[in-house]
Amino acid sequence: MGLLSSSVSITQYKVIGEVNGNLTATITEGLKKFSITDIDHEPVQKTAGWTCFENPYIPDFDKTSCIIGTYFIFSLRIDKKSIPSKIIKKYYMAEIAKKLAESEREHLSRNEKKTIKDNVVNFLSLRIPASPNIYDILWNYEESFLWFFSNQKAANEELETLFSKTFRLKLVRLFPYTMADLSKTLTDKDRDLFNTISPIKFVD
């Protein structure tokens, strides 16, 4: 789901830490270093990396700026190959039959079967293109907040891992506990009280 879609989902984050050195240059360098790479002709099933908001299929942070207004705006792209299980089975069974015929045996060991399956998956991975999933990101560096335009658990986890690896900054997802705990309006005494609260019943 994109920032410009007619219906969006937003997961809010607080960014902990500061970038060392020139802000724009450091962030752009990080995005370039961990930008998405093509896996269509690689025996790889899944990859994730940064891409440009305006041109997500051809990431080029030298040509496309990641700054709009006072925000850093870019995207997380997760490319995944989905090989239908029936196709894997078809090739797998054919390879098993071939191996049995060649070796003149009636059974293959578990390890042999596993090797054949891995080879089939790798072979098919080279022939099937990856489907790209693009998730937009808005980062307000000055205010230390970030919006991720998806609520999908797997995509959020991928973002948290890649963001930390790229910028050496921590992302804290905002949910009932963290939103209260990180609130600037709570005093230390309030925070102590907050940590002791427990559920209440609204009926007797």
Partner 1 sequence: MLDVSVSYNRYKFLGHEFLTWLWFMIDTDQNYIKSLQEDLISFEIHNRIVLENSFDNLTENITIKGDDAGLEEAKLSLQKGGVVTECNFSLKMGDLEWKFNIKGESLNISSLKSPETGNIEKKEDIEGVVLEKVYLYEKVVTLLEKLYTQFIALRIKNTWKEKTVPLIKNWIQS
CA 68 vs CA 74, 129, 138: distances in Å: 10, 32, 9
3-class DSSP assignment, residue 98: helix
Piece in contact with partner 1 (CB under 8 A), picked from 8-16, 75-83, 116-124, 161-169: 8-16
The Cα 84–Cα 191 span in angstroms is 51
Complex with partner 1: residue 97 or 193, whichever CB lies closer? 193
Do 52 and 76 form a contact (C-beta atoms < 8 A)?
Answer: no
Residue 4 in contact with partner 1, rule: CB under 8 A: yes
Do 15 and 146 form a contact (C-beta atoms < 8 A)?
Answer: yes
Residue 183 in contact with partner 1, rule: CB under 8 A: yes
The Cα 3–Cα 147 span in angstroms is 10
Residue 200 in contact with partner 1, rule: CB under 8 A: yes
Residues 22-61 that bind partner 1 (CB under 8 A): 54
Minimum distance between the CB of residue 28 and partner 1, rounded to whole angstroms?
A: 17
Q: Tokens for 149? A: 């335009």
Nearest Cα residue to 51 out of 30, 29, 32, 75:
75
Residue 185 in contact with partner 1, rule: CB under 8 A: yes
Minimum distance between the CB of residue 132 and partner 1, rounded to whole angstroms?
A: 20
Piece in contact with partner 1 (CB under 8 A), picked from 21-29, 41-49, 86-94, 183-191: 183-191
Residue 62 in contact with partner 1, rule: CB under 8 A: no
The Cα 2–Cα 59 span in angstroms is 16
Radius of gyration of the chain (CA): 24
The Cα 27–Cα 2 span in angstroms is 21
Complex with partner 1: residue 11 or 28, whichever CB lies closer? 11
Complex with partner 1: residue 87 or 179, whichever CB lies closer? 179
Of 147, 155, 161, 164, the one binding partner 1 (CB under 8 A) is: 147
Residue 172 in contact with partner 1, rule: CB under 8 A: yes
| Footprint of partner 1 (CB under 8 A) | 3-4, 6-12, 54, 68-69, 71, 73, 138, 147, 151, 172-181, 183, 185-186, 190, 193-194, 197, 199-204
